[in-house]
Amino acid sequence: MTDAAVKQTVVVGVGAVGCRLAAAIRGKPAGHRYLFVDTDSHSLGAHPEEETLLIGAAVCGGRGTGKRPELARRAAVEAEDEIKQALGPASVVVVAAAFGGGTGVGAGPMIARFARELGAEAIVGAVDPFVFESSVRAEYACEALLRAGDQAEAVVRIPCTLLPDNGGDGPGVRFREAFAAAEEHAAEAAVALVQIVSNPGMLRVDFGDLRRVLCEPGGAVIGVGRADGAERVENAIRHACNSSFLDSHRLHAAANIALHVAGGDTLSLKEVEEGARAIRAISGADYLLSVDVRPELSDEVIATVLLSGVSADSEEARPPAELEGPPPPGAFVYEGVNIDVPTFLRRSRGPHARLGGRSSAHRFAR
Amino acid sequence: MRQSSQLAPAQRILPFSTQAARSSETPKLRLQRAGPPETVAALDIGSSKITCVIAQAEDDLLKVCSLAIEPSRGVERGEVKDLDQVADAARAAVIRAQSEARMPCDRFFVGVAGKDSQGRNSRGSVMVAKENHVITDKHVRQALNAARNISLPSDRQIIDSVPQSFAVDNSAGIRNPTGMTGSRLDAEVYLATESVNCIRNIISCLKAVGCRHEGLLFEPFASAEAVLTEDEKDLGAVQIDIGEGTMDIAVYYAGGPRFTRVLPVGGGHIARDVAVGLGITLDAARELVHARGAAYESILDPHEAKQEFDVPAAEGGEACACSAGKLCFIIESRVGEMLEIARKEIRRAGLNGHGTRVVLTGGTALLKGIAKKAQQVFGTHARIGRPKIYTDHPELCDNPAYATAVGLLVYGVKMRRVVEKEQRHPVVSVAASSYKWLREFFF
């Protein structure tokens, strides 16, 4: 891929976690600009060498929002001109923000909107809160996902789980290690996301195709797998699909799948075919395949799987057969919803379910 | 009964009632004359249970003599679906209550609240034509009757009416206009209407049981009599009576009801959700909700919430393990939704700011943490409404499940006073002629 084909991309870290994530991936996908936005001057001070933008000095006084998204939203609106100026003439803006706090939830979607107003394609990479955080965080995340879906071209949820696959479970696992593993996992997903949206790859997938996959209500979920050696493409796809988050969502229930395979010069056509066959074996849904050759990967293959539309038909959320279909005569239908169907089942099919592991519905399913 | 037999049949049928009592008498239950205790009986036909209560009313005291509870059959969402089954259960309850009270009693105040119940505000006016322009009780009753004289579809009927306030000439917000001077009196009345078929079904059941109704009372009003304080009615309160099959919402403000709604969702839905969620029988689910249920996760001890216990499975299944947290999640989802629906209904009626307090009553109000959940949903104070009554029956005392039954007694006595008063000073009006029409219609 030539440099000209790589779109001018700005990665914007919003809030403390978003900035940390942006710092973690800085330089990995080369050739992009990085912008760090926060209401907290101390948080921005941790990135002295980066291009930073303090917003909401009047609203927050250089401090954090205290988990109040509304403050961050106001801060972003106040700083609209500065943000637009800082974004510059980018063609793709990737907003990395944690969707469980204040600044990311409030300012993240607004920055995506400003980017779109400038004519850029805006994608929000939303880092989910941890499972053990309060349900209020999950509510924030749910609300922010819906809002971000309105403001951005697409929303991709970046899992941040402490589950066995990324070393988070078990009695002997230390929190620091699990946390680092989760952070690495999130950074890897963010890198893959930036790569995909900024570099369409050899088997070209344009942004319109990608948007079709990503713009499902509730956003898409990303999983990344790496492998080398024999059957490396298949194994990488399997790792991506078996990352705890995607597994819990039952890949086979997804409505849309996008598969991105990146390998070195040695990547063969047969391997790509086998990878495509592996996806077909897992899911009958329509899938989008893009392939990228990056010489620096040499023997390694990175597979990125993006899923969307998973929650509505996920097996966990599926109500018993007798509860499906049109409401029976005499059922209490309120605002178009059959209230006689158990609430927890209905909600597990709603936007809450799209929060995956940290939604209340999902907690129940577990 | 002595008191009942004194009432003309028309007045027994139609509780076009209580307004004069509310307007001209003290709000608390108070019998106006000394004399031998009088008997008052109430029959609450609910979706989960049929409650029959017989009480003696004497001076300021209402003492329950007997209480009989029968599991309800043939009632769904507050409406009679199988006349024979309902009649059998009601008969059993009535016979038991009568034998326990050791007194015959064949006239009951019966509660009505089906999903077709509707409420509306109405206004009636009367000109005060006397030379001195002094408003008398007769003018008040005429104005109230005029407010009740509305045109309704042929399948609907007024079951209850409560005055909200009066206006004398241009001076509004008057509670008791009697004795004031003015040339025009307006009465604001809240009317509750129900489908004629629903009322006929209840009357048919009573006939099958072998008793009659002294009055049909709108259940949200009855519950409010039992659990709401006068302060709450004045300052504004949202009463939510969550029974097995229905949720009755009543908003009181400035002393009178402003909004009522009966929705076909209730405690039965909670048990069904638990049965579906855990794969257990409905009876087991009911017991589980009763024994371990909670409607607000934060009140659970974090350690206890995770501890699992076995619940008996449905036929052929394996016993499943459940934790208090999981059970609470199912219940909280449903209760939260029900309260959210109630909040939306109140907001739609434009009464968002009128409920300074939420009062929960009905059997579902026994759920642990439900007041805290209501507090969260409504963002205001919430409490459990427990009926206060003098009784030897410990299960009746302070138990929100019997708020309607107790309310029917209290409200019934008030209504009886009004009817007695109207008998002493009859008002010939359009409403009176409709009494006659209804008497012919039903008997």
- Report the residue from B277, B329, B334 with minimal CB separation from A360: B329
Domain shared by B420 and B378, yes or no: no
Element (H, E) at A88: none
Q: Are residues B182 and B223 in the same domain?
A: no
CB atoms within 10 A of CB B196: 16
On whether residue B235 sits in a domain, the answer given is no
In a domain, residue B351? The reply is yes
**Chain A partners within 8 Å of B272 (Cβ):** 340, 342
Q: How far is CA A225 from the centre of its chain?
A: 15
Domain-located, residue B242: no
For chains A and B, CB pairs below 8 A equal: 46
Biggest alpha carbon–alpha carbon distance for chain A = 66
Please say which residue of B356, B384, B412 terminates a domain: B384
**A190 and A237 housed in the same domain:** no
Residues of B with Cβ-Cβ distance to A334 under 8 angstroms = 263, 341
* Pair A288, A156 in one domain: no
**Domain shared by A33 and A83, yes or no:** yes
pLDDT of residue B315: 66
Instruction: Enumerate the H helices of B107-254 as residue ranges.
Output: 137-148, 196-209, 219-227, 230-235
Set of chain A residues whose Cβ sits within 8 Å of the Cβ of B269: 339-340, 342
Note whether A342 contacts B329, CB cutoff 8 Å: no
Distance linking the first and last C-alpha atoms of chain B:
20
Number of domains forming the structure of chain B: 3
* Residue B253 covered by a domain: no
Range from A119-128, A345-354, B327-336, B379-388 carrying the lowest mean pLDDT: A345-354
- A346 and A291 in a common domain: no
Contacts of residue B297 in chain A, CB cutoff 8 Å?
A: 135
- Are residues B330 and B358 both part of a single domain? yes
- Residues A68, A157, single domain; the answer is yes
Question: Do B185 and B203 share a domain, yes or no?
Answer: no
Contact A32, A197 (CB under 8 A): no
Domain enclosing residue A336, as ranges: 318-365
- Of all residues in chain A, the one with the smallest CA distance to B275 is A342
**Beta bridge pairs of residue A257:** A287, A307
| Confidence band for B239, pLDDT divided at 50, 70 and 90 | very high
Residue range of the domain that includes B314:
262-384
In angstroms, the Cα distances linking A99 to A41, A146, A197, A203 are: 20, 11, 21, 32
CA–CA dist A292, A270 (Å, integer) = 15
For the whole prediction, is pTM greater than 0.80?
A: no
Q: Are residues A159 and A278 in the same domain?
A: no
Whether A216 is covered by a domain: the verdict is no
Residues B294 and B371 in one domain: yes
DSSP B252: E
The reply to whether B363 and B302 lie within a common domain is yes
CATH code where residue B426 lies:
3.30.420.40
Confidence of residue B249 (pLDDT cuts 50, 70, 90): very high
Contact B384, B361 (CB under 8 A): yes
- Residues from chain A that touch B265, judged by Cβ atoms under 8 A, are 332, 339
pLDDT of the residue at B378: 86
DSSP code at position A3: G
- The alpha-carbon gap from B37 to the nearest alpha carbon of chain A, in Å, equals 45
Same domain for A130 and A183:
yes
Is A209 within the bounds of a domain?
no
Please name the amino acid found at residue A343: T
Q: Which of B265, B329, B330 sits opposite A339 (nearest CB)?
A: B265
* Shared-domain flag, residues A285 and A143: no
Cα–Cα distance between A39 and A224 in angstroms, integer?
Answer: 31
User: A9: which strand partners?
Assistant: A92
For the four alpha carbons of B435, B441, B442 and B443, in that order, the dihedral sign comes to positive
Is the CB of A342 less than 8 angstroms away from the CB of B273? yes
pLDDT at A215: 65
Mean of pLDDT over chain B:
80
Report the first-to-last Cα separation within chain A, whole angstroms: 44
B90 and B211 housed in the same domain: yes
Asked if the Cβ–Cβ distance from A344 to B272 is below 8 Å, we say no
Q: How does pLDDT run across B168-219, given as a tens digit for each residue?
A: 988 888 888 888 888 889 999 999 999 898 889 889 988 888 888 888 899 9
Selection from B297, B327, B289, B322 nearest residue B307 by Cα: B322
Which residues does chain B have within 8 Å of residue A345's beta carbon, measured at their own beta carbons? 276-277
Letter string b/e over residues B142-166, b meaning 16 or more CB atoms within 10 A of that residue's CB? bbbbbbbeeeeeeebbbbbbbbbbb
Half-sphere exposure of B39 (CA within 13 A, CB side): 19
Q: Output the domain CATH number for residue B181.
A: 3.30.1490.110
ipTM of this predicted complex?
0.77
In a domain, A297, yes or no: yes
Q: Are residues B186 and B208 in the same domain?
A: no
CATH of the domain at A278: 3.30.1330.20
Report CB contact under 8 Å: A332, B277: no
Give the B-side interface with A, CB within 8 Å: 77, 115, 263-265, 269, 272-273, 276-277, 297, 326, 329-330, 333-334, 336-337, 341
Give the total number of structural domains in chain A. 3
> In terms of domains, do A178 and A58 share one?
yes
Determine the residue of chain B that is closest to A364 in CA distance. B326
